[in-house]
Chains A and B, each alone.
Chain A
Amino acid sequence: MAERPFSGVDPVALFGSALALVGATTLPFVEFRTSRIGIATYHGIGAAAPVGYAFLAAVLACVAVAVLVPPRTRGAWLKGVGGVALVALGWALGVAASHLLAGASSISRVSTGGGAWVALIGIAVVEFAGSQALPSRRARLAIDAAIAVALAAALVLGGAEQLSLAREYAARADEFWPEVARHLELAGAGVGFGVLLGVPLGVLAWRSSSARRVVLGVVGVIQTIPSLALIGLLIAPLAALRVASPLLANFGLSGIGTTPAVIALTLYALLPVVRGTYVGLAEVDPGAIEAGRGMGMSPTRLLLRVEMPLALPLLVDGIRTATVLDIGIASVMFFAGAGGLGVFIFEGVGQVAPDLTLLGALPVIVLALIADALLRALRDASVSPGLRGEQA
């Protein structure tokens, strides 16, 4: 089968590898400071020689794959070569840190530079393009797992523990995991209460057209309130409630801390959950509802046996959006005194220590991506075979 030259070029992978190449060669690869908050000097990828050049070679190989390999086999090639580039990048960072810190004082720091971040984003784009072009879910998972193991090894063996980010982690390791757990608790509680409250509200909005305007309007307005403002708004009434009712105070209700944080996260989770429920129900074939009623199903049975199962995929999508949203917003709950990964983010901002901020921000991104993937899988598993696209 003859193909026109370049007709099979993968533009996304080409863009990603070009981005990685330009970023790694034109922007500072690492930053060196004589102390944690000292003035930075910038170093190019040459500081990571020779592994840095191996990384560039791997990125050039990505370009070649994106242009030359036919689409049929390109997915696996892109993911594989992209994975090699990623491993080389992790290794190169450790090598650069070792070079620059050799002979420097013990309080000197080496941080990841803009060029390394841009390169990371570029490689992520290549991996994304590779996943899109690789239909086999099993092959994707296998390649991803292999990359993860190799990357971990490259980070450990290459000396990445000398990077400033790793040093920040080492200094706060005792607090780090409890704050991760705390972060998940806050987001989980917000989503949990959001579902308990939002699903009935969504059903109500669907059943009654007069309730619909109020419910959808109110949860929409809540979404527009900035999170800091919402926390501020909650403090006074909650404090007053605590004073008025010692019983509630015994249950731990208070104007600062967990109570306002969970209330705020619950309110933010409402919009996606309510809307997912409402839209899911509104999309149900009216004929199915008419037939169900006409055959003598009670409203409750109709809801549980017909309407909710048909609305479920969109409802789970709403829960997924709420989860990703709350994992992000939980970072701000530091200001409510509720802890979470926001502790590192905002202490880092306060101390002008960007790597401490990253120590908080990177896990938030990772947690959000993991939650997103898990809930997508849950949604796919929750769908009846009768609603799936494929014909059995």
Chain B
Amino acid sequence: MIQLEQLTKRYDDRLAVDHLSLEVPDGRVCVLIGPSGCGKTTTLRMINRLVEPTGGRILIDGRDTASLPAEELRRSLGYAIQSVGLFPHLTVAENVATVPRLLRWDKQRIRQRVREMLALVGLEPDDYEASYPRQLSGGEAQRVGVARALAADPPVLLMDEPFGAVDPLTRGRLQGEFARIQRELRKTVVFVTHDVDEAIRLADLIAIMRDGRLVQYDTPERVLDHPADGFVHDFVGVDRALKRLGRVRVADVMRTDVPHAATPDAAAALARGEGGAGYAYLVDNDGRLLGWVDARMVREGWPCEEAVTRVRVAEASVGVDATLKEALSRMLGFGFRAIPVVDAADVLLGEVGLNAVEAATEAGSRASELRERPSDEASR
């Protein structure tokens, strides 16, 4: 558990952070968000003492961070930043090994750990170990940055806009993978962003800051449904129902019993069959999505092979880590009423449709009405 108590940072006569108090329970993601200059990054940097507080204190698992040497403290806190800051003269493996080396792990253990971490963030160790940062794309560099932050298995992870410097498509994918990794590792995370959608998607608790003060500290649902004041209301924006879809994972609401077959003929038969949906997905022998068959075209006399709509899977589907918001955006973009869901290897897992979106919107708003504030203590 991370506790900030009356944390204050003063620069000359300006208060960058003003008596901020909040608690992040173990295994939860706390997102600090607010307009630029609100003190969110300063707050984060005080936790690992890159900035020394002017007043107040920080406890991690009950221990005052000021009682440790700063460097020892930092080695126990994973740290990932927007500019990534990979060391350009070192290989990817050497970069990831930074903190384990500082902690004097033995070579064999470091090497094994580096490979695990690269695999965890979705980079094939054999392909990337010996690469240099300049050979990586922006998204790959961000993944290496996260792998480096996680390398020494710190219980706490501090992230300062870690997905800020990549294109929106890559950002969405990295967010999905971060959510997956977090479900697996259950770190206590403090995450700074200025992107409301990112906050809503990833946070267990959102801390909205303004002028160095905490305005609201709540679950994303509560922030959406019960903004503490006009500032939060305006900051979150009017498209709250849409934003709420960013909380729902496709994996949780998708239909898995979708009609699919491995040959155009079989798919056409499925599509036209008794009680059929009017379409069926075409997959290859390994289950990877290739396209779909429309029963109407088959009935109109098109040969089965030509009735297949073959698609670029990356565009005409969503990943299993995606949110319903992304799925909806994709459906609207293509004019589909449903969109297939695939895993990282493009294997068809199911589909989500507009009905799932409707259900989620209703259920989401009803649930958030009923849900209690997480802790009055924490949001003080």
A→B interface (CB under 8 Å): 285-298, 301, 306, 309-310, 384-387, 391-392
Contact = CB atoms under 8 A, between A and B. Distances in A.
Interface of B: 48, 50, 70-76, 79, 81, 83-91, 98-99, 102, 131-135, 145, 148-149, 158
B84 A291 contact: yes
Contact of A309 (B84, B89, B132, B135): B89
A130 B252 CA distance: 68
Nearest to B158: A294
Contacts of A298: 71
Contacts of B89: 306, 309-310, 384, 386-387
Nearest to B101: A305
26 contacts: A285-B83, A285-B88, A287-B83, A288-B85, A291-B79, A291-B85, A291-B87, A292-B85, A294-B48, A294-B74, A294-B79, A295-B74, A295-B99, A296-B71, A296-B73, A296-B74, A297-B71, A297-B102, A306-B87, A310-B87, A310-B88, A384-B88, A386-B89, A387-B89, A392-B131, A392-B132
B197 to A, nearest CB: 25
A286 B50 CA distance: 14
Q: Which 6 A-B pairs have the closest CB atoms?
A: A291-B85, A287-B83, A386-B132, A287-B85, A296-B74, A384-B89
Contacts of B91: 386
A282 to B, nearest CB: 16
A291 B99 CA distance: 11
A291 B45 CA distance: 12
B75 A285 contact: no
Given A290-B50, A298-B71, A384-B88, 9 more contacts: A285-B83, A291-B79, A291-B86, A293-B50, A294-B50, A295-B79, A297-B71, A310-B88, A392-B132
Contacts of A289: 85
Contacts of A387: 88-89, 134
Contacts of A291: 79, 81, 84-87, 145, 148
Nearest to B70: A296
A386 B134 CA distance: 7
B102 A288 contact: no
Nearest to B131: A392
Contact of A386 (B72, B76, B133, B158): B133
B267 to A, nearest CB: 43
Contacts of A292: 85, 87, 98
A296 B99 contact: yes
A385 B98 CA distance: 18
Contacts of B149: 295
A392 B89 CA distance: 14
Contacts of B74: 293-296
Contacts of A296: 70-76, 99, 102
Contacts of B71: 296-298
Nearest to B79: A294
Contacts of B102: 295-297, 301
Contact of A295 (B75, B83, B134, B135): B75
Given A294-B74, A297-B102, A285 B85 contact: yes
A306 B85 CA distance: 11
Contacts of A288: 85-88
B83 A391 contact: no
A288 B131 CA distance: 17
B61 to A, nearest CB: 18
A309 B132 CA distance: 15
Nearest to B134: A386
Contacts of B90: 384, 386
B308 to A, nearest CB: 39
A289 B148 CA distance: 15
A382 B255 CA distance: 58
Nearest to B80: A291
B135 A392 contact: yes
